[in-house]
Structure 1
Amino acid sequence: MNDAMYQSILEHAPMGYAYHKIVCDEAGKPCDYEFIEVNPAFEKLTGLFGAKILGKRITEVLPEIVNDSFDWIRFYGDIALNGGKKEFDQYTAALNIWCRVLAYAPKKGFFITHFIDITKEKTQLEELNNFFELSLDFLCIADMDGYFVKTNRAWEEVLGYSCEELIRTKYLDFVHPDDVQVTREVMNRLNEQNPVVNFTNRYRAKDGTYHWIEWSSRPQGKLVYAAARDITDRKKIEQRLERRMLELTRPAEDTSTIDFSELIDLETIQRLQDQFSEATGVASVITLTDGTPITEPSNFTRLCRDIIRKTVRGCQNCYKSDAAIGAYSVDGPIIKRCLSGGLWDAGAAITVGGKHVANWLIGQVRDENIKESQLVAYAREIGADEDDVLRAFREVPRMSIQQFEKIAKLLHTIANQLSNLAFQNLLQARFINEKRQNEKEILYLSYHDYLTGLYNRRYYEQELARLDKKENLPLTLLLGDVNGLKLVNDTLGHLMGDELLIKTARIISQVCRKDDIVARLGGDEFIVILPRTAGSVIEMMIDKIKSLAAAEKVGGLAVSISFGYETKNNEAEDIEEIFKRAEDDMYRHKQYESTAIRPRPK
Structure 2
Amino acid sequence: MSEELKYKTIADYYYDWETWEDQNGILQYVSPSCKRISGYEAEEFLNNPKLFESIVLEEDIEIWNSHRHEISNRDKTFENQFRIHHKKGYIVWVEHVCKAVVDDKGQNLGYRANNRDITLYKNSIETIIKNEVQFERIIDSLPFSLSIITLDGTVLYINPKGLDYFEAKEEEIIGKKTAVIHWVEPERRLIWIEQIKSNGIVTDFEMHIRTAFGKELWAMGSGLIIEYQGQTCVLSTQHDITERKEMEESLRQSEEQYKLLFENAAESIVVIQDGKVALSNDMSTLLTGYSAEELGEIHFMNYIHPDDTETVVSNHMKRLDNEEVDRIYKYRIIKKSGEIRWVEMNSLKISWKGRPATFNLLSDITERKLAEDALRVSEEKYRLLFENAVEAILVIQNAEIMMCNPMTSKLTGYSLQELTKMKFLDFVWEGHNEKVFSFHKKRLAGMKGDTKQQFKIVKKNGEVRWIESDGIKIDWNGEEAGLYFAMDITDRKATEDKVLYLSYYDQLTGLYNRRFYEEELERLDTKRNLPLTIVMADVNGLKLTNDAFGHGAGDKLLKVVADTMKEELRREDVLARIGGDEFILLLPKTDSTSAELLVERIREKIAKTMVEKITVSVSFGFDTKTQENEDMEKIFTQAEDYMYRRKLLESSSMKSEMITLITRGLYERDKNEQSHSERVAELCIKTAEALKLESHHIGEIGLLGMLHDIGKIGINQNIIKSNTIISDK
Higher relative contact order (CA 8 A, sep 6+): 1
The bucket for the TM-score relative to the shorter chain is 0.3 to 0.5
TM-score of the pair, normalised by structure 2: 0.34
TM-score of the pair, normalised by structure 1: 0.40
